[in-house]
Amino acid sequence: MANSQALPDLYPDIEPYDSGFLKVSDLHTIYYEQCGNASGNPVMFLHGGPGAGTSEHDRRYFDPESYRIIMMDQRGSGKSTPFAELQDNNTWTLVEDIEILRKHLGIEKWVVFGGSWGSTLSLIYTEEYPEHVKALIVRGIFTFRRKEVTWVYQEGASALFPDYFEEFVEPIPEVERGDLIGAYYRRLTGNDEEVKIRCARAWCKWEMAISSLLVDEEIFALLENDYFTLAFARIECHFSVHGGWFKSANHILDNVEKIRHIPGVIVQGRYDVICPVQTARDLHKAWPEAEFHIAPDAGHSEYERGIIGRLIEATDKFRNI
Q: How far apart are CA 246 and CA 227, in angstroms?
A: 28
Among residues 272, 282, 284, 293, the one annotated as catalytic is 272
> Collapsing DSSP states into helix, strand and coil, what is residue 65?
coil
Q: Are 206 and 168 in contact (CB under 8 A)?
A: yes
Residue type (1 letter), 68: R
* Burial of 195 (C-beta count, 10 Å sphere; 0-12/13-18/19+): middle
Distances (CA, A) of 22 to 29, 30, 31, 69, 170: 5, 5, 6, 17, 40
Q: How far apart are CA 31 and CA 151, in angstroms?
A: 32
Q: How far apart are CA 6 and CA 301, in angstroms?
A: 19
Among residues 116, 122, 212, 301, the one annotated as catalytic is 116
Q: How far apart are CA 41 and CA 235, in angstroms?
A: 31
Q: How far apart are CA 193 and CA 181, in angstroms?
A: 18
58 belongs to the catalytic site: no
240 belongs to the catalytic site: no
> Collapsing DSSP states into helix, strand and coil, what is residue 243?
helix
> Collapsing DSSP states into helix, strand and coil, what is residue 300?
coil
DSSP letter, residue 9: P
Among residues 132, 251, 284, 300, the one annotated as catalytic is 300
Q: How far apart are CA 230 and CA 51, in angstroms?
A: 9
Which residues are annotated as catalytic?
116, 272, 300
